[in-house]
Amino acid sequence: MKLMVLNFIMIMLRKLQKNDKTKLRVWRNSSEISKYMYSEHKISSKEHDLWFDNVIRKQSDYYWMIVCDNEDVGLVNLYDIDLKNSRCFWAFYLASHNIRGKGVGSFVEYTILNHVFYTLGLNKLCCEVLDFNASVVEMHKKFGFVQEGFFKKHITKSNKRYDVFRLAILKEDWRNIQSTISDKLTKKGILNENQ
């Protein structure tokens, strides 16, 4: 997706490439990332190769590297794309500590919402968030997501059960707030005025 300036940081989302395989396994196995994922085991090279090869080959899901100033800093994806029912799910993570708190997550969320609703033409975007990741739940709500479900003791990690929030936003709801969100992000320097 297109290149943007974010508080003097150049940011873009680029399609996943074969040479991203090793970096993604390191990220997926890091405790900073894996604590927010549903799985918790160390991902073996063989398991990762199978997953990655499937991701590269699969045409129904989308994966992009989040790139800031020519450095790969995270991953974003759309999955479970259901054209009949006009909906999909999304997830992302930032692996680089250098860009946290600088609005990169807000930029990614805004970009994905526009892509899902205006480029892909879908009607609904959904996500799931572990209950202890309250800052991400709040971030999604600031972008117009509403809680549609709460799954009690839904995921087990380290012998402890965790609840999961299910959130979603409809195209009509995004259309109603998109310009307000755009104005806020522009004032914060997260978006340029022409975005």
Asked whether residue 192 is assigned to any structural domain, the reply reads no
Say yes or no to pLDDT of 60 above 60.
yes
Cβ burial 37-62 (10 Å sphere, 16+ → b, else e) = eeeeeebeeeebeeebeebeeeeeeb
pTM: 0.91
Number of domains in the chain: 1
Give the bridge partners for 125, in sequence order.
88, 169
Q: What band does 5 get if pLDDT is binned at 50, 70 and 90?
A: low
Asked whether residue 194 is assigned to any structural domain, the reply reads no
Asked whether residue 195 is assigned to any structural domain, the reply reads no
The tens digit of pLDDT for each residue in 77-93 reads: 999 999 999 999 999 99
The tens digit of pLDDT for each residue in 104-142 reads: 899 999 999 999 999 999 999 999 999 999 999 999 999
Asked whether residue 20 is assigned to any structural domain, the reply reads yes
For residue 8, the model assigns a pLDDT of 55
Sign (positive or negative) of CA dihedral 27, 122, 137, 97: positive
The tens digit of pLDDT for each residue in 142-170 reads: 999 999 999 999 999 888 999 999 999 99
Average pLDDT of the chain is 90
CATH label of the domain that carries residue 180: 3.40.630.30
Asked whether residue 162 is assigned to any structural domain, the reply reads yes
Domain that holds residue 60: 4-187
